[in-house]
C-alpha cells in the first residue's frame, strides 16, 4: 500500500523546503491532514500570494511589494550609504542588529562565472549606474568571505576605483559572545591578523 495520490503529491511537494526530507515531509502532510486543515489552507494561500506578489525593489533588488522596498522608501535612512549584500536574508540579519542606517544593494547571488553568474546576473551594471550618477557616497561591502564573496568584493572595488565613492568592508573576526573553542580556524586566523591595539 502507498499513500493516496493527493497525500503523496503533498509529501513530494514539501521536500522543496530546505532541510525537509521524505520523513519530515510525511510528518508535515499527516499533521496538517489530521489536525490542522485550516492551517494548511492558510499556508497554501500565503504561499501563492507571496510567490506571485513579492518582487524586487527597483533601486536595490531587495524583496519589495511595490516599486521600492521599505528601506529605499524610508527618507530617514541615508540613501547615499549603500551596504552590498548577497541576499535578502542578509538584509534581515543586518537590520536585526539595529546598527546600520544606510540602504542596501542586494546581489541575489555572487560572482561565479562557472555557474553562469556574471556581473549583470547579480545586478552590478545597475550598481555601476548608481555610482556613475553620483547618488552614492559610500559603499560598505558585506558579501561574505567565501571565494565568490571575495571575488565579488574585488570586482566592486575595481568598478569604483577613480570615483569619489569611499569603500569599506565590514570587520571580520570572532563573533561577539562566542566561545573561542567553537570558532573555526580560518576565522580565528583572520581575527589574529586583524588584531587592534586596545
Binding interface with its own copies (CB under 8 A): 1-7, 9-10, 12-14, 16-19, 24, 26-34, 36-37, 39-54, 63-65, 69-71, 74, 87-89, 91-92, 95, 108
**Cα(10)–Cα(32) distance, integer angstroms:** 10
> Look-up: residue for cell 524586487?
56
Interaction mask 1-40, Zn ion, x per CB under 5 A: ----------------------------------------
Nearer to its own copies, 84 or 165 (CB): 84
Could you tell me which stretch among 37-45, 51-59, 131-139, 183-191 binds Zn ion (CB under 5 A)?
A: 51-59
Among its own copies, Zn ion, none, partner that 143 touches (CB below 5 to 8 angstroms by kind): none
Residues of span 72-101 touching Zn ion by CB under 5 A? 72
**Cα(29)–Cα(7) distance, integer angstroms:** 7
- Read off the C-alpha cell for 24: 519530515
Nearer to its own copies, 98 or 185 (CB): 98
Cα-based angle 66, 70, 75 (whole degrees, multiple of 5)? 115
Contact 39, 28 (CB under 8 A): no
Among Zn ion, its own copies, none, partner that 72 touches (CB below 5 to 8 angstroms by kind): Zn ion
Residue 175 DSSP class: P
- Read off the C-alpha cell for 103: 540602504
**Cα(138)–Cα(131) distance, integer angstroms:** 9
Q: Under the rule (CB under 5 A), what is the footprint of Zn ion? A: 57, 59-60, 62, 69, 72
Amino acid at each position: 500500500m502507498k499513500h493516496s495520490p493527493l497525500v503523496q503529491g503533498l509529501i513530494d511537494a514539501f521536500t522543496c523546503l530546505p532541510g525537509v526530507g521524505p520523513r519530515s515531509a510525511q510528518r508535515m502532510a499527516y499533521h496538517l491532514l489530521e489536525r490542522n486543515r485550516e492551517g494548511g489552507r492558510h499556508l497554501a494561500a500565503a504561499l501563492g500570494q507571496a510567490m506571485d506578489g513579492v518582487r524586487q525593489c527597483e533601486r536595490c533588488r531587495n524583496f519589495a511589494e511595490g516599486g521600492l522596498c521599505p528601506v529605499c522608501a524610508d527618507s530617514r535612512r541615508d540613501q547615499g550609504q549603500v551596504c552590498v549584500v548577497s541576499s535578502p536574508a542578509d538584509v534581515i540579519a543586518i537590520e536585526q542588529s539595529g546598527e546600520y542606517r544606510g540602504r542596501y544593494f542586494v546581489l541575489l547571488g555572487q560572482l561565479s562565472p562557472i555557474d553562469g553568474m556574471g556581473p549583470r546576473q547579480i545586478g552590478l551594471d545597475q550598481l555601476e549606474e548608481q555610482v556613475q550618477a553620483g547618488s552614492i557616497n559610500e559603499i560598505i561591502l558585506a558579501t561574505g568571505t567565501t571565494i565568490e564573496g571575495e571575488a565579488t568584493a574585488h570586482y566592486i572595488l575595481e568598478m569604483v576605483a577613480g570615483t569619489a565613492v569611499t569603500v569599506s568592508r565590514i570587520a571580520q573576526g570572532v563573533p561577539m559572545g562566542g566561545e573561542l573553542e567553537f570558532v573555526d580556524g580560518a576565522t580565528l586566523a583572520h581575527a589574529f591578523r586583524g588584531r587592534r591595539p586596545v
